[in-house]
Amino acid sequence: MRTLRPSSSLFHRHAQSAAEHAFAEPARRAAPGPTASFDTFTPAGPVRVSPGTVTGYSALERQKLDRATAKLGEVLNSREFRDAVLAHTFAGKSGFASDERTPAEVYAVIRAAKERYTAVADGEVDLNLELRTLSWFQRGVVGYTREGSETITTNRRHFSGFDEAGIAGHLGHEWLHTLGFEHDFKATARRPHSVPYALGDLIEALASRPTLTPV
């Protein structure tokens, strides 16, 4: 199922199936072009997923979150994820919507894991997470991250219904924004092919598999 009407100028509201996320985003600046700088640091070992400040989660919710972040790490360190990113095409060409970097450059940025709020690239997924129940008016909002903020907010209304793979995909989508990847604010035809949407869906799909092949 698809879009409900926007709940405000800030949020997008979407209905979602098991295979489709609803992500709420603040307005985004234009995606960087091919000359945008990016860190090419390559970690010697697996990319680490490191929750930092985590607020609003009950003990049981934190257990579910920990399982989801473990799945996120497994996906990011898998050959299946690497090969899918490198093979991604949009409009008949290698690459993604809303970003002129090559798939190899996109993958290098992901591996470097340099968030906008960390000093250096360290191959570590730094997640500051907040869980809270958004208002009824924002009931269709799954979560969001704001430019200038270090925190990914998730709506408890959706967290409770998502399995660990769905949560991993949601967190992956939002984390990719912290690396500088953007998408259209409105639900355009090309938005599902942007880095956050395409790879968020990929992360969910791969996290649902029983086994993955390490890089």
CA distance 159 to 144: 13
So what's the pLDDT on residue 65?
98
- Judging by DSSP bridges, how do beta strands 151-155 and 124-132 pair with one another? parallel
60 in a domain, yes or no?
Answer: yes
CA distance 176 to 152: 11
CA distance 165 to 75: 10
Nearest to 85, CA basis, from 191, 205, 208, 211: 205
Structural Rg of the chain based on CA atoms: 16
**Cβ atoms within 10 Å of 18's Cβ, excluding its own:** 12
Q: Which CATH number goes with the domain that contains 164?
A: 3.40.390.10
Structural domain harbouring 100: 48-207
User: Would the pLDDT of 62 be above 90?
Assistant: yes
20 in a domain, yes or no?
Answer: no
22 in a domain, yes or no?
Answer: no
Is the pTM above the cut of 0.85?
no
36 in a domain, yes or no?
Answer: no
Contact indicator for 180, 105 with CB cutoff of 8 Å: no
For the ranges 15-19, 53-57, 196-200, 207-211, the lowest mean pLDDT is seen at: 15-19
213 in a domain, yes or no?
Answer: no
42 in a domain, yes or no?
Answer: no
Q: What percent of the chain has pLDDT over 70?
A: 80
So what's the pLDDT on residue 44?
72
CA distance 96 to 77: 21
CA 30, distance to chain mean position in Å, is: 18
Q: How many helices (H) and strands (E) does the chain have?
A: 6, 6
25 in a domain, yes or no?
Answer: no
**Residue with token string 């497994």:** 74
Domain count, the chain: 1
15 in a domain, yes or no?
Answer: no
pLDDT digits 0-9 by tens, 17-45: 333 344 444 444 444 444 344 555 676 78
